[in-house]
Structure 1
């Protein structure tokens, strides 16, 4: 039996490999992303993914780990700055929306995988979704008990906060709805994220009535 030929030298560094993998999975979806297509976009032998990562599934997990690196630590540091529950929630939501606006490929990947019951969703739930929710649950619970947030099922509150993030991945739609304000530059993406989070939080946490 002829041994499988190992892939040759790779011209890309590890970060670029993972960036391109993220772009491909976000654009095509996991099932439509073949090992051959990944190899074409990376400019490597079709053996490369299996040789280096063992399988397409392992490569997908490496891409997700790369995309999510440091996110939770940054959120924990942000939440530690505030004692007021409203400020903590506003900060966490603002950070989430800015992250989504500036990392739209990751947001597209999460949104796509969230529609399917799979091992990949389990991985995203363990690595990102549940840690995010755990980090803001005490704050949200305190605001519910104080009457500042309506008392609804936890998953409804989750969707109210996280659902609008999907809009930040839909620049082609935004361009058609408002051609004069196409959100392409980095500053525009931040402003779009801040405007959307302000709108969502105004509905979730309306200004307290004056005495």
Structure 2
């Protein structure tokens, strides 16, 4: 593994385990196996290092999310986007812990996650959701309700100790992960489509 990739991976592990505030420059340097001044010299600050860690973990995953395909039915397109998101979550489970840490605090880091990764992911879904709503196949759903309908099931992909207690095999193959992502996406999208037969959701 290239040195830079190894440094960013160790940084991801440290931030996931300790949280941003408890990951001191000294502790980060110890875990990275570098000098105390390395992070400031290489990245400029701990905050800039955190952003580099996040970009390294999520940038490729975001690029792999499917783009709009007008040949697909809107429900199928939504299912593909959600499935791809769950695959990405399974590939970066430590980011799940970082998201949990950051979602509860109103910080510049949350702004960064929202603007760079959360909003672009949601925007992939919005056009097909708008068409599904317009055609009566889905009830109007506020964005914050939609977000928390789609995101929490990621726990099924990344919360391994709990999943094992619930019956997940000790060792999961890529095929098993793919099947889990498909099943979760099916449950979520089918549930969203089912809202069309009930009352509209308002926040």
Bin the TM-score by the shorter chain: 0.7 to 0.9
The alignment's C-alpha RMSD in Å is 2.2
Match status 1:44 vs 2:34: yes
Provide the rounded CA distance (Å) in 1 between the counterparts of 2:66 and 2:82. 13
Query: TM-score, normalised to structure 1's length?
Result: 0.84
Q: 1:160 to 1:51 in 2, by over 3 A?
A: same
What is residue 175 of structure 2 aligned with on the other side?
A: 187
Could you tell me which runs of 5 or more consecutive residues in structure 2 were left unpaired when the two chains were aligned: 198-203
What is residue 143 of structure 2 aligned with on the other side?
A: 154
4+ aligned runs moved over 4 Å, structure 1 = none
Count of residues in Structure 1 that have an aligned counterpart in Structure 2: 196
Deviation string for 1:91-136 (max 9, x for gaps)? 0000001111121112221232112110000000111011111121
Whether contact under 8 Å (1:171, 1:183) holds in the other structure is no
Match status 1:19 vs 2:9: yes
What SS does the corresponding residue of 1:70 show, helix, strand or coil? Answer: helix
Q: 1:116 to 1:183 in 2, by over 3 A?
A: farther
Query: TM-score, normalised to structure 2's length?
Result: 0.87
Larger C-alpha radius of gyration, 1 or 2?
Answer: 1
What SS does the corresponding residue of 2:65 show, helix, strand or coil? Answer: helix
What pairs up with 1:1-211 in 2 under 5 angstroms?
13-77=3-67, 79-80=68-69, 82-178=71-167, 181-182=169-170, 184-206=172-194
